[in-house]
């Protein structure tokens, strides 16, 4: 049986041997939702970075090498000065991102992605690509043979985030329904599964209840919530590959 765990805050990653694991990083509000939106809309790749300075440096280096990249992301939910786009999935539409590379800096999501980079496989999951992520993970079980599957919740400023825990439960629910006897659920996974199953009919209510959802509403970004809550709206699998770039699997 393959152990399934939900890492409820990124600091929990320290307890696991990532090299043997398949990791799904989840930041429903909003980084992994926006990454799925960008790739679905035709972006060539997304590079998650940890700081604004790093984002600017990487994009300048790309420019010097004759490539261009959109500088995207947020600090406190809003795009830093000089950035091309923020971190709203509504911004990552075809007209903006088709065939473009994107350097993305966010407060929690891109940090969790960078911190997971030593894992055997890293993908970005959200509600908007739930079924695609489940099918991809399941289809790669034989070839990847991960010692463990970890759903890593990006949370908010180091704290637990309800919306990421909910989506982790959705991924486990999907995996369990395809292969009920294949996985060994940690207690964190049992709890996430139970929470998802109790609330799956109203994902928007989960996002609206969450602290992060309320904060986004306070910033005037409440219109992002229905987009982030829409199951399978962007059915792509963002996969981390060479040199940290995330591309469509
Ligand atoms: C994050 O990485 O913390 C989020 O994506 C923040 C946001 O809502 O933009």
Query: Could you tell me the domains of the chain?
Result: 2-248 (3.90.1560.10)
Q: What is the atom index within ligand 1 of the atom nearest the CA of 111?
A: 2
Q: Which residues pair with 152 in a beta bridge?
A: 7, 25
Supply the pLDDT for residue 242: 77
Q: What is the atom index within ligand 1 of the atom nearest the CA of 224?
A: 8
Instruction: Give dist(CA 175, CA 199) in Å, integer.
Output: 18
Task: Considering only the C-alpha atoms of the chain, give the largest distance between any 2 of them, rounded to a whole number of Å.
Answer: 52
Mean pLDDT of the residues in the chain: 96
Q: Is the CB of 74 under 6 A from ligand 1?
A: yes
Residue 46 class from Cβ within 10 Å (0-12 exposed, 13-18 middle, 19+ buried)?
buried
**Chain centre to alpha carbon of residue 87:** 12
Q: Is the CB of 108 under 6 A from ligand 1?
A: yes
- Read off the pLDDT of residues 155-209 as tens digits, 9 standing for 90 and up: 999 999 999 999 999 999 999 999 989 999 999 999 999 999 999 999 999 999 9
Cα 74 to averaged position of ligand 1 atoms, centre (Å): 7
Q: Which residues pair with 78 in a beta bridge?
A: 75
Is beta strand 121-125 parallel, antiparallel or unpaired with respect to 21-26?
parallel
pTM here is: 0.97
Q: What is the atom index within ligand 1 of the atom nearest the CA of 157?
A: 3
Q: Is the CB of 28 under 6 A from ligand 1?
A: no
Q: Is the CB of 77 under 6 A from ligand 1?
A: yes
- Read off the pLDDT of residues 57-111 as tens digits, 9 standing for 90 and up: 999 999 999 988 999 999 999 999 999 999 999 999 999 999 999 999 999 999 9
Residue 144 Cα distances to 4, 17, 120, 177, 207, angstroms: 15, 15, 8, 20, 32
Question: Are the beta carbons of 33 and 126 closer than 8 angstroms?
Answer: yes
Question: Three-class SS string for 110-126?
Answer: HHHHHHCCCCCEEEEEC
Burial code of 97-120, b = ≥16 C-beta within 10 A, e = fewer? beebbbbbbbbbbbbbbbbbeebb
Q: Is the CB of 30 under 6 A from ligand 1?
A: yes
């Amino acid at each position: 049986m393959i152990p399934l765990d939900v890492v409820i805050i990124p600091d929990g990653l320290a307890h696991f041997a990532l090299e043997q694991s398949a990791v799904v990083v989840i930041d429903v509000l909003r980084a992994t939702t926006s990454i799925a939106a960008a790739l679905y809309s035709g972006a060539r790749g997304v590079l998650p970075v940890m700081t604004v300075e790093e984002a600017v440096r990487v994009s300048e280096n790309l420019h010097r090498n004759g490539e261009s990249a959109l500088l995207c992301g947020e600090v406190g939910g809003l795009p830093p000065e000089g950035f091309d786009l923020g971190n709203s999935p509504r911004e990552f539409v075809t007209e903006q991102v088709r065939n473009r590379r994107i350097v993305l800096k966010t407060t929690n999501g891109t940090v969790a992605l960078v911190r997971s980079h030593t894992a055997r496989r890293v993908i970005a999951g959200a509600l908007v690509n739930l079924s695609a992520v489940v099918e991809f993970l399941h289809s790669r079980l034989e070839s990847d043979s991960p010692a463990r599957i970890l759903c890593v919740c990006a949370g908010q400023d180091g704290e637990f985030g309800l919306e990421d825990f909910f989506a982790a439960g959705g991924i486990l629910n999907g995996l369990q329904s395809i292969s009920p006897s294949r996985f060994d659920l940690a207690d964190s996974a049992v709890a996430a599964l139970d929470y998802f199953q109790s609330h799956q009919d109203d994902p928007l209510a989960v996002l609206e209840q969450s602290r992060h959802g309320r904060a986004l509403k306070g910033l005037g970004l409440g219109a992002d919530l229905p987009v982030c809550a829409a199951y399978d709206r962007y059915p792509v699998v963002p996969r981390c590959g060479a040199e940290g770039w995330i591309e469509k699997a």
